[in-house]
Structure 1
């Protein structure tokens, strides 16, 4: 998150993180949710992937995109 914040020029911190499986079994997709805080407030992001790490990163990128949209960028 620090590298993404520096690259985008926005201050972000993760307040909440949650993830769970969408199906049963070893090939199940996972969904991750994050709440990020930035100087203008708090926003959520979500990501879905077969890999929980990728789902988590997708959720962070989703939240960062929402911050940029809110700022008109």
Structure 2
């Protein structure tokens, strides 16, 4: 879950920041054709999903799996 969250964060934030430098992910160009002018909303949603997944991983309580037999 952590790896997936980090990948989503990188994709979402990268797609949001890279056009400022004249670069972009091709995947989000396809999404722009599908969703029309709401590409920015999709980028923010992908970054938010990534942040939620990373947050769940970080705040998830780790149970003690050791057994004192």
Is TM (by shorter chain) over 0.5?
Answer: no
Larger Rg: 2
TM-score by length of structure 2 reads 0.36
TM-score by length of structure 1 reads 0.35
More strand by share: 1
